[in-house]
Structure 1
Amino acid sequence: MDSAPQTAPPAVEAGKEIIIALMGVTGAGKSYFIRKISGLSEVEVGDGLESCTATIKPYSFTYEGTKITLVDTPGFNDTHRSDTDVLKDIVAWTSQTYKEKRLLSGIIYLHRITDVRMEGSALKNLRMFKSLCGEDALHNVLLTTTQWSRVDPREGEARELELKTKKEFWKPLLDRGATLARFYGDRGSGLELIHKLMAREPKVLDIQEQIVDKKMDLIDTSAGQTINEELIRLQKKYAEELKSTKQELQAALESKDEELKEMLAEQQDREERRLAKIEAERKELLAKHETEIKKRDEEMRKRDEESRKELKELYAAQQKREEALRAESAKKDEERKKLDDEYRRQLWDAQQKRDEAYRAEAARKEEHYKWQMEEQRRQNEADRRERMEIAKSISNEQHRAGLLEQQLQSERERRAQLEMQALETRNRLTMLERRPRGFRDVLFGR
């Protein structure tokens, strides 16, 4: 039976919506938390490491007269989607709510206390979480451990101590304003966490400021850079592993170990697919960057056209003013004309500088893009030649194996003939020994 919260909910401004995001690795209990606190039966809860949250899902309910919206987010170790796709979803949702002036009241980051150690997926989620939030929003973050009923209390406290004291885990976040918390699996303890965030002033996330206010491309944001660095690291790691496997496969071919050769060939195929997946994801991230560049260039072109149009309208209006001024005084007209000429020259110079800067930037980006494509093409060609060489080597080894098998078969047949002859000789000797001794003496001249 669920316990009641120990504290009363804080007073909230009438009509205000409390928005709280749930983040953490797949299986940390985000969907379970939302279902337990909200009482909404439509919240789907998984029972394993398979993700049941494919996209961002907000769930709203009324608590003590206040609208609470809990937002379920997929983890960056999602079983069905790439980290880039998950980041795009989070960016799209947070940007839209920011434009609607609906700020997050807080974030509850969940972590299983049953985990003996912080695995790579958990560390990756933590890095992404840091880059999404930024330092200012950490004051509205609850770093929350879950599943306390599944662990010995002393063991759980030891793991919690490790989380909050090690600099590679939660210590830097706690030092900058985040709060340590526990969720015991019941509605009462969950509402205690909600109470803490209801009283806090909503904060703007770094990703919202970078995307909406600063108009940054996704790859240029802190979160985009974090994913790109992770993809580069994995790409290098997988490439080295694939290279090692190829070397082992070559050695297996030379040693004629068929079983090892087959196993390594399958391993090589898996590693090639894994590397291709990472390369495709990074290409997708870069492609998004190129799309944003083109979009920004188009916006710049439109602004330039509007600026030229405004300049023409300004010039026409100025001409009319000059006509009126010339009627009053020739001297004033001459002075005004000089001022206007200088003004137009400055406008033209400024426009020329903007156009020149735009063309230079566009040329630089185009050259960089061509260089990236050429490097990719060279790498692909090198990989293709390497695969052809390996295939050719395998074919030669198979041919040699066939010849050796033929020689071995011939040797078996010759050996069988010799064994047959030896058997016939033994049979003849046996027959002779079975005959009477006198007959054998006569036969052998005794």
Structure 2
Amino acid sequence: MAYQLSRADLPSMILVMGVTGSGKSYLINQLANQNAVKESDQLASCTAVCKGVPIQIGKSRVLLIDTPGFDDTSRSDSEILAEISKVLAAQYELGVSLKGVIYLHRITDLRFQGSSMKTLQIFTKICGVDALKNVVLATNRWDDVVEAVGADREQQLRTNFWAYMLSKGSIMTRFYGDRPSAVGMVSQLLGRSSIVLDIQRELVDEGKTLNQTTAGAMVNDEAGAKKAEYEQALRDLEDLRRTLQAQDQEMRKQIQKDWADEKARLQKATEDQKTLRRDVAAEVRDQINTKKEKKEKSGLGKALPFLPAVLGFLGMFVGLPTGSAGGGLLTSWLSDSGIGDSITEFFSNF
């Protein structure tokens, strides 16, 4: 079958970011009109890896990317940054349009500090100044707070923590937990020109390793500080262990346990810094080219139109739905491109 190749068929991409438990997955499910991604009311994250969820707003095809928070309970900031960076590098390499980022914040939070502040700092470094005009800063959980209290916190965000981003064109809005307000946010981004994030330019265009990017340098400095802290703790425990008398068996056992714990933390900090030394763009490019070569040798590479081909390559870096929740829309997009397979069959054969 001869296919009509057109990049106009490609979906736009929108990133959804925020701290763990900020409601990213809930927002995406409202937009998808179904439970496309797992949600959690707990501090533990339900989003372990980046997941792509297809939606359609009018005639616009959009791929929402659900991202894990940088305060994830099971993965380090280095791992999370590498995960998100790989998706962004792949999107940029494949020529998929990035329309912007939705950043969620709970209006129920008493203060803006700790993990919220750190996540925001990393976030702004990922984006860069020029991309801030395509950022929607959305507060949510308004049903869980008295209006006057929420309005006061909203004003603090506007005049303090988010003031710089707003001055650079970011949009501040409320997400009331329903689909209309969610669609409104996406629609504002779809009406704007596509953007390239700073971390994409640094990784793909400038060939930097992750720790050489602005965002990566910040995360690397934090990992280095933790490493120095753990090294000092190990030295202190070693000194204490040597000074103890043989009869202090219980104390020696506890010190040995503490020493082992600090050793494990030190090893993890070392691994985090190693993760940040990766050339993410080169890894992505190699994976895409390897897959292309295999497809061309099989005689299938040149037969695919843009949309199925790009979906296939993106599926190497981001989780895409194959079941009824989300998979049906992807199957419909494939059908419009002349592919008769279901999305499950397509990915198994890609």
Asked whether the 8 Å contact 2:107–2:145 carries over to 1, the reply is yes
Cα RMSD for the two superposed structures = 3.1
Amino acid at match of 2:110: V
Report the Cα distance in structure 2 between the residues aligned to 1:290 and 1:199, rounded to whole angstroms.
30
Task: Please name the residue that 1:284 is paired with.
Answer: 275
The counterpart of 1:84, out of the listed 70, 78, 87, is: 78
Q: Which structure's relative contact order is higher, taking Cα pairs within 8 Å and 6+ residues apart?
A: 2
The counterpart of 1:198, out of the listed 162, 183, 190, is: 190
Change (3 A) 1:249 1:148: farther
Which runs of structure 2 are paired with 1:407-422 in the superposition (5 Å)?
Answer: none
Q: 3-state DSSP class of the match of 1:105?
A: strand
Report the Cα distance in structure 1 between the residues aligned to 2:133 and 2:280, rounded to whole angstroms.
35
Structure 2 residue 224 is the aligned partner of structure 1 residue 232: yes
Report the Cα distance in structure 2 between the residues aligned to 1:271 and 1:250, rounded to whole angstroms.
17
1:139 to partner: Cα distance? 0.1
Amino acid at match of 2:104: L
Task: Please name the residue that 1:159 is paired with.
Answer: 153
The counterpart of 2:54, out of the listed 56, 60, 65, is: 60
Task: Please name the residue that 1:357 is paired with.
Answer: none
Asked whether the 8 Å contact 2:21–2:45 carries over to 1, the reply is yes
Q: 3-state DSSP class of the match of 1:163?
A: helix
Asked whether the 8 Å contact 2:105–2:138 carries over to 1, the reply is yes
Amino acid at match of 1:23: M
Which runs of structure 2 are paired with 1:88-127 in the superposition (5 Å)?
Answer: 88-127=82-121
Higher-Rg structure is: 1
Of all paired residues, the percent bearing the same amino acid is 37
Report the Cα distance in structure 1 between the residues aligned to 2:280 and 2:119, rounded to whole angstroms.
26
The structure with the largest helix share of the pair is 1
The counterpart of 2:135, out of the listed 122, 141, 146, is: 141
Asked whether the 8 Å contact 1:17–1:68 carries over to 2, the reply is yes
Amino acid at match of 2:179: R
The counterpart of 1:34, out of the listed 24, 28, 34, is: 28
The count of residues paired between Structure 1 and Structure 2 equals 278
Q: 3-state DSSP class of the match of 2:260?
A: helix
**TM-score normalised by the chain length of structure 1:** 0.56
Query: Tell me, which stretches of 5 or more residues in structure 2 are unaligned?
Result: 1-7, 286-350
Q: 3-state DSSP class of the match of 2:53?
A: strand
Change (3 A) 1:38 1:275: same
Amino acid at match of 1:176: K
1:290 to partner: Cα distance? 12
Asked whether the 8 Å contact 2:86–2:280 carries over to 1, the reply is no
1:40 to partner: Cα distance? 2.9
1:210 to partner: Cα distance? 1.5
Asked whether the 8 Å contact 1:132–1:206 carries over to 2, the reply is yes
Asked whether the 8 Å contact 1:76–1:125 carries over to 2, the reply is yes
Task: Please name the residue that 1:418 is paired with.
Answer: none
Query: Tell me, which stretches of 5 or more residues in structure 1 are unaligned?
Result: 1-13, 296-446
**TM-score normalised by the chain length of structure 2:** 0.70
Change (3 A) 1:289 1:209: closer
Asked whether the 8 Å contact 1:27–1:48 carries over to 2, the reply is yes
Asked whether the 8 Å contact 2:106–2:140 carries over to 1, the reply is yes
Asked whether the 8 Å contact 1:15–1:66 carries over to 2, the reply is no
1:108 to partner: Cα distance? 0.4
**What's the CA shift string for 1:143-166, capped at 9, x where partnerless?**
111212112222222222222333
Structure 2 residue 289 is the aligned partner of structure 1 residue 275: no
**What's the CA shift string for 1:83-130, capped at 9, x where partnerless?**
222222222211221122212111001111222223432222212211
Report the Cα distance in structure 2 between the residues aligned to 1:177 and 1:240, rounded to whole angstroms.
44
Q: 3-state DSSP class of the match of 1:97?
A: helix
1:136 to partner: Cα distance? 0.5
Which runs of structure 2 are paired with 1:15-414 in the superposition (5 Å)?
Answer: 15=9, 17-166=11-160, 169-243=161-235, 253=244, 263=254, 265-286=256-277, 288=278
